[in-house]
Amino acid sequence: MHTYTAAVEVDDLAVAYGKVTALDGLGLRVEAGTVFGLLGPNGAGKTTLVKVLATLLAPARGTARVMGHDVVRDPFAVRLRIGLAGQFAAVDEVLTGRENLEMVGRLYRLPRAEARRRAQDILERFDLADAADRRAGTYSGGMRRRLDLAASLTGRPPLLLLDEPTTGLDPRSRQELWAILDELRSAGTTILLTTQYLEEADRLAQRIAVIDAGAVIAEGTPAELKSGTGTDVLRVRLQDPSAIGAAEPLLADLAAAGTTVAADKPAGELTVRVVRPDASAEALRRLDAHGLGVATIQLTQPSLDDVFLALTGHTATASATPEEPR
């Protein structure tokens, strides 16, 4: 019987690299059988948290438990219950895909026959069976990433730690990896996913924590985080981009308190965070009255990018304080 109530429980976690604070009292809870997204820019503390949960780094303060086991007091039990895939595919390029997986199985102390059987099953599951006996050094970037993820599942861990797993992948490979993660969650695997791709967090995660400067600054479902900004986003594209200077002041008083009109001059597009339900109609009326033609006008809910910008004052791809010396 399981005695834990969550797959991951973190409380008041602190880690520093010299004078650089990587985690500063971070706390979160990941329910079993879900995808939990940890969203933040480079240097926010995401990789440091993964290292703590993987027992690769001891915290200076606080506690972290994986499947009920403390990462400091019971690291071996934690390692038996996790799979880890980082930003760069950790595969042996000299070995074939099959040999990579069989090697990992043996490291999990599986009997040779069982390691061979699991390797074949996983190769088929990850659409790598046709390339199983080719050297991994001949694989494409997407294939290597799939092989790395496959290796992390050889021990059938209940928790998968993924640290920006789609970094550097082309759109097709990213979509393929997303489909695999959906299948894993449906099969009961808990996934902690760190990412700076807002679309990825929105697409995969049932719950998201926004992390900045080593602490969680907001948490909720994607819909809750978007609704928490309290504003919709109005986007207006002009027929004549050079007219944007004249259009901008016409919409200034439609902006929500504390915000301004954002202008993309080359594209001739204005973006305004608004609270008025009639903002689209009013904007169109004003621009038309001044003879400024509108190519498109759209009123939408805020994206996660809008949420992140509202919470932190910068985008998710902006670089924060270096998280760890390279």
State the pLDDT at residue 318: 56
Q: Say which residues have a Cβ less than 8 Å from residue 261's Cβ, sequence separation at least 6.
A: 248, 251, 252, 255, 270, 271, 272
CA dist 11 and 288 (Å) reads: 55
CA dist 33 and 206 (Å) reads: 10
Of 152, 161, 155, the C-alpha closest to 50 is 161
pLDDT, tens digit, 9 for 90 and up, residues 201-249: 999 999 999 998 899 999 999 888 887 776 788 999 999 999 999 999 9
The residues of the chain that CATH labels 3.40.50.300 are 8-223
The residues of the chain that CATH labels 3.30.70.920 are 231-301
Q: Say which residues have a Cβ less than 8 Å from residue 241's Cβ, sequence separation at least 6.
A: 265, 266, 267, 268
CATH says 8-223 is which class? alpha beta
pLDDT, tens digit, 9 for 90 and up, residues 91-150: 889 999 999 999 999 988 899 999 999 999 999 988 899 999 999 999 988 888 889 888
pLDDT, tens digit, 9 for 90 and up, residues 22-77: 999 999 999 999 999 998 888 889 999 999 999 999 999 999 999 999 999 999 99
CA dist 200 and 182 (Å) reads: 12
Whole-prediction pTM: 0.77
CATH says 231-301 is which class? alpha beta
pLDDT, tens digit, 9 for 90 and up, residues 159-213: 999 998 888 778 887 888 888 899 989 999 999 999 888 889 999 999 999 998 8
